[in-house]
Chain A
Amino acid sequence: MNNDPVDSRLIQRIRDNPKYQQLVQKRSRFAWRLSILMLIIYYAFILVIAFAPKSLGIKIAAGSVISVGIPIGVFIIVAAFLLTGIYVRRANGEFDELTRQIKEETK
């Protein structure tokens, strides 16, 4: 409507391509799973802060001043970075290869 309408027959051809359906299914499942994982990690942390803030103050070892909250916090930051790495690796490899094949086949 507002943008250049891509040829509707081309769209139909792409949608009928099993590889397209495979791409959509695989990618969206992967993306949502990782998103939910990130949300669970983060909201678990937030809920602990909301309902049991003291538990993050437990020391990592007897005689240490470091609380478990510190490595947990750093872990969440590192986990966020690693998850993006995992997604980019698969998307820029497997998914982009599928996309390339779809473009090739539906030219």
Chain B
Amino acid sequence: MKLFFASFSGLLGALWTPLLWAAEAAKPETKVNMTAILMFFAFVAVTLGITYWAASRTKTTKDFYAAGGGITGFQNGLAIAGDYMSAASFLGISAMVFAKGYDGLIYSIGFLVGWPVILFLMAEQLRNLGRYTFADIVSFRLSRVPIRTLSALGTLCTVILYLIAQMVGAGQLIRTLFGLPYEYAVIIVGALMILYVAFGGMIATTWVQIIKAVLLLTGATFIALGALHHSGYNLEAFFRAAMEGVKASGLADHKKVVADNKDIFAPGGLVSDPISAISLGMALMFGTAGLPHILMRFFTVANAKEARKSVFYATGFIGYFYILTFIIGFGAVVLVAPNAQYVDMIKGTLQGGNNMAAIHMAHATGGDLFLGFISAVAFATILAVVSGLTLAGASAVSHDIYANAIRGGNVNEQTEMRISKGAALVIGIIAIFLGIQFEKQNVAFMVGLAFAIAASANFPILILSIYWKNLTTRGALIGGSLGLISTVVMVVLSKTVWVDVLGNKAPLFPYKDPAIFSMTLAFVGCWLFSKTDNSQQAARERALFDAQSVRCETGIGAAGASGH
């Protein structure tokens, strides 16, 4: 607890100094937004207060990893939404709708449709079979050491890539919104997430996500209402205004649309060929079902009933949110695109970067005060997502690698928790370091890669271990590794990395999204090497399937909830 106070006051000091410094040294193009800073401080103060309260309630590993199992379905639904609606979706998708029109909706639909499938095939199974990480489920029958190691590797790859993308995004966003230097922004985000996770564990993380979800949904609702209000809540008038907006727009993308005589309400050139369309669809849909920080949320509820409710609420909130981003994007075409205050009419870009459509919309609909609120919400959004990621990464290190793979499950709870907190610290520092290193890099591909790894390495072994009796350790190990390695190789050789990052002339792999190939490889690998596995161990693993399905179906023997 003393340590908490020390870091708390240290952090406050560390926060103030650069802020004051930034306030004094602010350059004209990076205005310091005092409303945003004050609102952000209010958020940090509340969440650190919650972390302090959560720390006093985090006594066991169950508290630390799973919030004691006492989260309700509704709360968890909000927290899942808070975990899933990243700043990338809020800013990225509304910006994509803004610049490309209908294509933005294709992405948001892909991000959503994974949820029903998670509910139908995985939610209650996860709850009934697992305790803290998705590796618990895969290693229910299969051999502990290799399977835990592979799952932890899949988790850490997903988490680190996702974290870097969030950190770089956070640094750039905060620099624009708060007028704060990039490095300070990354360090503040990293320090806060370490505090939340290391001291407050899953309880604090859950509440940070819930508060953020409420703030983001409220803020986005107001922007969308502001957009519709402008057209008198008449949809025909709204979309007609958007069409006029494109013609009057100063944005280069929009000028191209007008020149090519394209329709912004129809699919454009974003998805170029059938293979890419299907592959992207697979990565978005099944990637969601393999994201470790999302899967982990299912262990925080008491039973299968609450797990199902969580997904129902989460799907509702996330779906509603994507409809809002769609309205915000087109609203920005009406209110932001023709306005020289927001668009650099000469360069044809948005002030502050092309992801700023939603932020400018906040200003266009609610003035400076509302802009401050939305900026603070965007910051809170990043914090909630990176905390969830850090906790998932720390759990993979302490629960999968240390407690199970190394110590064979015989481990003192307090030691496991200490390892987990240490891991959160290390992951946080790595994220800060890489976030700063990657400042000037194009990191857009990293979220896509994280989804592709989740879809091709984590998802196949998880779903097969639940449903396919014949899966053996050998099959899962070879199939999962094939999925992981092939995804990384194909992404590195594709245009996004080979050309855009490494600067080569032509890509060696023609498609942007590898999921259709890497997922096939993973499933075929799992199938082939399980089918041909005639070892005694394989026979034992198959024999355990009956016990697994009884527990999976009924919840008998599932890790119960103390539910304080």
Residues of A that sit less than 8 Å from B by CB? 1-6, 8, 10-11, 14-15, 20, 23-24, 27, 31-32, 34-35, 38-39, 41-43, 45-47, 49-51, 53-54, 56-57, 64-67, 69-70, 73-74, 76-78, 80-81, 83-85, 87-88, 91-92, 96, 99, 102-103
Which residues from A are CB-within-8-Å of B239?
Answer: 65-66, 70
A6 and B105 contacting across the interface, CB-CB below 8 Å: no
Report B137 CB to chain A, min CB distance, Å: 10
A76 and B113 contacting across the interface, CB-CB below 8 Å: yes
Which residues from A are CB-within-8-Å of B323?
Answer: 74, 77
- Given the contacts A38-B117, A84-B116, A96-B305, A27 and B263 also touching, CB distance less than 8 Å: no
Asked if B464 lies at the interface with its beta carbon under 8 angstroms from chain A, I say no
Which residues from A are CB-within-8-Å of B468?
Answer: none
Q: How far is the CA of A2 from the CA of B133 in the complex (A)?
A: 14
Partner of B557, one of A4, A39, A53, A56: A4
B267 and A76 contacting across the interface, CB-CB below 8 Å: no
Complex interface: stretch among B24-32, B272-280, B356-364, B485-493 = B272-280
Residues 299-325 (chain B) with a chain A CB within 8 angstroms: 304-305, 308-309, 311-312, 315-316, 319, 322-323
- Our count of residue pairs bridging A and B at CB distance below 8 angstroms stands at 172
Instruction: List 5 A-B pairs, Cβ < 8 Å.
Output: A11-B546, A35-B121, A38-B113, A38-B116, A77-B319
Which residues from A are CB-within-8-Å of B554?
Answer: 14, 20, 23, 99, 102-103
A81 and B316 contacting across the interface, CB-CB below 8 Å: yes
Smallest CB gap from B130: residue in A: A3
Q: How far is the CA of A45 from the CA of B268 in the complex (A)?
A: 14
A2 and B112 contacting across the interface, CB-CB below 8 Å: no
Q: Write the B9-36 contact mask toward A (1 if CB under 8 angstroms, else 0).
A: 0000000000000000000000000000
- Given the contacts A49-B106, A80-B115, A42 and B309 also touching, CB distance less than 8 Å: no
Asked if B109 lies at the interface with its beta carbon under 8 angstroms from chain A, I say yes
Partner of B547, one of A8, A24, A50, A67: A8
Q: How far is the CA of A80 from the CA of B266 in the complex (A)?
A: 22
A27 and B553 contacting across the interface, CB-CB below 8 Å: yes
Which residues from A are CB-within-8-Å of B547?
Answer: 5-6, 8, 11
Report B270 CB to chain A, min CB distance, Å: 9
A3 and B140 contacting across the interface, CB-CB below 8 Å: yes
Asked if B124 lies at the interface with its beta carbon under 8 angstroms from chain A, I say yes
Q: Write the B312-345 contact mask toward A (1 if CB under 8 angstroms, else 0).
A: 1001100100110010000000000000000000
Q: Which 6 A-B residue pairs are closest in the complex by CB-CB distance?
A: A57-B266, A50-B274, A67-B265, A50-B277, A53-B267, A31-B120
Which residues from B are CB-within-8-Å of A27?
Answer: 553
B550 and A14 contacting across the interface, CB-CB below 8 Å: yes
The residue among A5, A15, A50, A65 with the most chain B CB atoms within 10 A of its own CB is A65
- Given the contacts A14-B556, A42-B285, A80 and B267 also touching, CB distance less than 8 Å: no
Asked if B229 lies at the interface with its beta carbon under 8 angstroms from chain A, I say no
Asked if B236 lies at the interface with its beta carbon under 8 angstroms from chain A, I say yes
A69 and B266 contacting across the interface, CB-CB below 8 Å: yes
Which residues from A are CB-within-8-Å of B124?
Answer: 91
Asked if B510 lies at the interface with its beta carbon under 8 angstroms from chain A, I say no
Partner of A51, one of B116, B140, B274: B274
Report A56 CB to chain B, min CB distance, Å: 5
- Given the contacts A38-B113, A39-B117, A91-B308, A2 and B553 also touching, CB distance less than 8 Å: no
Which residues from A are CB-within-8-Å of B309?
Answer: 88, 92
Q: How far is the CA of A21 from the CA of B450 in the complex (A)?
A: 39
Residues 100-155 (chain B) with a chain A CB within 8 angstroms: 102, 105-106, 108-110, 112-113, 115-117, 119-121, 124, 136, 139-141, 144
Which residues from B are CB-within-8-Å of A43?
Answer: 278, 281
B120 and A80 contacting across the interface, CB-CB below 8 Å: no
A88 and B312 contacting across the interface, CB-CB below 8 Å: yes
Q: How far is the CA of A66 from the CA of B242 in the complex (A)?
A: 11
A11 and B409 contacting across the interface, CB-CB below 8 Å: no
Asked if B419 lies at the interface with its beta carbon under 8 angstroms from chain A, I say no
Asked if B531 lies at the interface with its beta carbon under 8 angstroms from chain A, I say no
